[in-house]
Amino acid sequence: MPNKLGLFSLLYMNDTNLLDKTSNFNIKQEKVHPELRIDPTDDYSFNNQQRNNSLMTSSPGSSPSPPSSPTTMSRASLPRLYKIMTISKLLSAILIFFSLASIYIMLDSFQHHQRDVSGCQTSYMRPEYIKQINFDSEMTRFAGKYGLYLYREKGVDFSDQPTGVPVLFIHGHAGSYKQVRSLAAESAFYYYQNYVHDAEKWQQGVRNLDFFTVDFHEEFSALHGQSILEQAEYLNDAIDYILKLYPQTRKFDAETKLPDPTSVIIIGHSMGGIVARTMFTMNNYQHGTINTIITMSTPHMLPPVPFDWQISQLYDDINHFWQEGFSHPNQIDDNHKYPPPPHVSLRDISIVSMAGGTLDNTVCSDSTNIGSIVPATHGFTVFSTAVPHVWTGADHVSILTCNQLVKVVSKTLLDIVDVRRGTQTKPLEKRMQIMRHAFLSGLEDRKGDGSDVELGNLTFYNLQSNEGLFLKPGERWVIDSETIANMILLPTVANADAFSILSDSLIGYNGRFELMLCSKVNGYVSNSTRVACRSTTPIAVPIPASTQNDVYPFSGNTFSFASIEFKEMGTYSYLAVVDKGSQSGGFLVIEPFKKNTHSQVVRQSMLSIALEGVHVKTGPGLFTSIRIPSIESPILAYHLKVSRPHCRNYPTHFAPFLRQSISTMHESKFYVNLADNSQAETDVSIHGRTAFASIVSNSRDIDQNGLSFQLWMDPTCPEPLQLDLSIDWYGSAGRLGFRNGIMLATFSFITVMLVFAAQIKCYNDTGIYPHFGQGLSFCFQRSLPLVMVCVAICSIAQCVSPSIHYTFDDLWYLPSPKVSWQDIMTGNTDGFFWWIPLAGLALSVGVVSLLWLIVECAIRISAHASAFFTKQYGLATWPSRNHETRQQQFQRRAVTTFILFLLVATFIPYQFVFVVAFLVQIVTCVRALVRARALPNRSDCRRSNRYNFMLSILLLFFTLLPFNLPILLVWIRNISVHWFVPFSSDHSVLAIAPFMIYVEILTSNRKMLPRQKSRFWSIITYLIMYYIVIYAFLYGIKYTHWIYFLTNHLVVWFLFLHFQDSHYGKLSFHYLMDHIMFGSKKHS
């Protein structure tokens, strides 16, 4: 071993030179064990001692030449670009350090920074699961694989038969059917405590909910598209079974006058939501059997693990189906067509997608957005942080058990029920109205014309002088604990256009305060004023309380806030506040304001925000809006600092608080008790457009897009409020990694393919196959700079392409370009992040360099261990088959290959065979290294060539493992539940045959890729490899599964090159030349 030489430098040396006996390295000659001695019949043995001498005297700075002749071998040397320079070692070390540091920073940032605080409370229940044994193999072909259960809450549900409204729960990836327990238990509690004795609700068709739940045996549905299709088929059969139960069970429950149920409500968690949407595309779906879907933490836009081709195709199919179903709302229905067209299947569907926010480490909440799939008339996306009285984030599992959220969902499900209709639910418009009121914050922009302001019945009041208080125009009014007047009337004013109201008491029929729109009417009553009023209490919405004692928005205390524009008041000239009085005290602040003066639009570019931050000062006012259109990307996180130091000495009624929201979907977060500590910073993060998706927002006005802040502050303090926003770079690292994880796998494959192409080029030109480090050195000087320039150009072109915000209706009238910029590379169209592909490429090069070092070390250690045991204990490490004839070898290999083909076609998935081939390739690499060291002079160039080639194949297989291991896990899990029915999509012999045959050739014949001296065949090889690289760069992140199949085509080409170089190939070539090319000449 060289003195003072580290492992990194040692592995970077030419493998042949490292093992040569030279004066520079002073390697001691070892005696070769008989078991390792090379067979004289080996086609790689030396022809004469002259070749040995010529190789042993070669300089250590060059690699040996190919074995064409002694003269050629002595002249050939490794090209200069492939030689390891100090700069290459330094660059590799820097990239490895950069990769390790980046991965550590991203993991630490993702786990510990910019995380919402969970305020979820625990749900309690006493579950009982009744298996539906009658749902057997006569009704579904998957009865032996899956199961169906009916949930019953002990002590509340006393009947084992379903008599209410059917609800079907679908769990997600590796989930459990028991996850339904929180929703089912809370629904039962709420119904029997609030509705069962309510005659009015009973007459309105409200009944209890029958929760059915399916057991998929914790199937890995996120990894496998075929599993989703099977689950969807099973669930359609299950719905048919469930609906057939009710005609009988309702007869015993005195509900014979009610119509038989024709549809069920679906609750889908995680991938269960995708299964629910897939059910509509299946052949066994019965039209109208589903009309309401609520999904929780469901990745609607992109598959979380896109390595399986079928799951990627499934996402494309269901998204196209749903988009087509809503693209032509006025199209004539064709109810007689089977299966029904999408617009018929989806015409009565309402769907709500709920997300947990930054606490969800499993599914990126960006992907839960259904804005580009479903119009607002049929559904919306909402975050748990926006749901009234919840106001907390939830992780991927706790979104099902978060008691605050479960209560809201359970009550909403009961509110949309109507057993008087066959669908068992209210009409679509009413359902959507109920769900918007329950799930949305209520602070969303209204139409502005008053058409969506709910008004009560007209009521007349005769106000005595001590009962009514008419304020002066423009006057702000603050009501403390004492009642000043029964009714306070604020007139509209010319220098304002809206009213804002805030109170720590409930504004409504059951609260201290009530809001009305009033006008004076003719009529004289002594010492009184007659007014006509209509209640407008529904405009008041609950928001989190913000006092000196509140730390988080989910503390349980609430304020009430309302705002109304003058033009929404119509002909009414007064906004009236009815004060009913309260012994508990409280306050109410009401003031007129002008929206233009209390709204600010920060027109800064992202570059300016990154360099300087955002600094806004607002004047004193109850309600202020700040919008930053440039901030839309969910990748960046921010630090927010709110200060109002001079108000500490004022007797304020509440502490400043803030709501953040985003225009692309209903994400709201509240931050309470701000400005209490001028040094404190608040973490701010948003969700938005996911990669490869159109930007769909609620407005075409660019000033209405982007990040929005709504500020509440006590206007009795005359001091302004300072808001400072800066980028949290460390906190953003985790968000960047979470949203671009697939890029690492794709770009690592690209890096290996680039090095592989460089190695083959050197081998074809010189006959020397350089080791991976030498190929990487060539890429540093030639391939990678060119690739990075091309990637930078494409990324910049992608980012400067017009980024237009569309409403949902706009999507159906857009032209369909042949190449859409948003579908290539990382799917990013934000110019601020044009550098992401370059950073990903640098990170991948470092990861691949580290991977090569680890694999190289492991193989060398294995080779040393093999030689040690062989020498020490006389063990034959590798079985010798020298006694076999060539015909026997061919028969053995043919039988082995045939058996594997048969197993793939019938029982085992082809992914299993790939993993076996990968393990065999590891053994082949160890054997190749042992044989390269076996000769006394250790200088056979052909053996080092073969080892280097085998290592390149192994690294290529390494990058393909992610495409095969997930399906293998699914297969193993199916075997564990005794399900042996094969997946048709995973038993394609053609998908694995090239890999099988090639590994068999490399293992059995001790061969490597033939050297292509013909320029024609070399160019074709390079074109195939670089085509794969280009495709992987452009589409490898979105359509990752294609990387495996393109590599399969490359291996087919390698097999062709082997055949062409073989004896049979040459005979076939001469036969073709003789009988086809020159056949006509002979006959003439």
Task: Name, in order, each residue with C-beta under 8 angstroms of 34's C-beta and a sequence gap of 6 or more.
Answer: none
Contact 439, 387 (CB under 8 A): yes
> CA 160 to CA 847: how far, in whole Å?
57
DSSP 671-697: E-STTSSTT--EEEE---PPTT---B-
Residue holding tokens 């090639």? 998
**CA torsion, ordered 959, 961, 964, 967, to nearest 10 deg:** -130
The SS3 call for residue 443 is: coil
Q: Which two tokens stand for residue 373?
A: 């799939």
Type of residue found at 1044? Y
Q: Identify the bridge partners of residue 459 per DSSP, sorted by sequence position.
A: 533
Cβ(666)–Cβ(383) below 8 Å: yes
Write the single-letter amino acid at 1006.
R
| Ranges of H-type helices in 933-991 | 941-960, 965-976
Residue 165, beta-bridge partner list? 209
SS (HEC) of 875-911: CCCCCCCCCCCHHHHHHHHHHHHHHHHHHHHHCCCHH
Buried/exposed 996-1032: b ≥16 CB within 10 Å, e otherwise: bbbbbbbbeebbbbbbbeeeebbeebeebbeebbeeb
> Among 1034, 1048, 621, which residue's Cα sits nearest to residue 790?
1034
342-376: b or e for each residue (b if 16 or more CB lie within 10 Å)?
bbbbbbbbbbbbbbbbbbbebbbbbbbbbbbbbbe
Query: What is the H or E stretch that residue 93 is in?
Result: helix 86-112
Report CA-CA distances (Å) from 195 to 343, 438, 471, 757: 36, 18, 43, 72
777 is catalytic: no
* CA 485 to chain CA centroid, nearest Å: 56
Catalytic choice (109, 123, 221, 270):
270
214 touches 111 (CB < 8 A): no
The Cα 740–Cα 830 span in angstroms is 15
Q: Which of 668, 667, 669, 665 has its CA nearest to residue 693?
A: 665
DSSP E strands, 171-329 = 209-215, 264-269, 290-296
Max CA separation in the chain (angstroms)? 131
Tokens of 150: 């009916």
How, if at all, do strands 165-170 and 209-215 pair?
Answer: parallel
- How far apart CA 224 and CA 986 sit, in angstroms, is 10
Going 864 to 869 to 870 to 875, the CA torsion angle's sign is negative
What phi and psi values does residue 791 have, to the nearest 5 degrees? -65, -40
Ramachandran assignment for 405, one of left (phi > 0), alpha (psi -120 to 50 degrees), beta (any other) = alpha
Q: Which residue intervals of 294-402 are DSSP H helices?
A: 309-327, 342-345
DSSP string, 484-531: --SEEEEE--TT--EEEEEESS-BSTTSSEEEEEEEE-S--BTTEEEE
- Side chain identity at residue 962, one-letter code: P
Q: Is 596 exposed, middle or buried (0-12, 13-18, 19+ CB in 10 A)?
A: exposed
Task: List active site positions.
Answer: 270
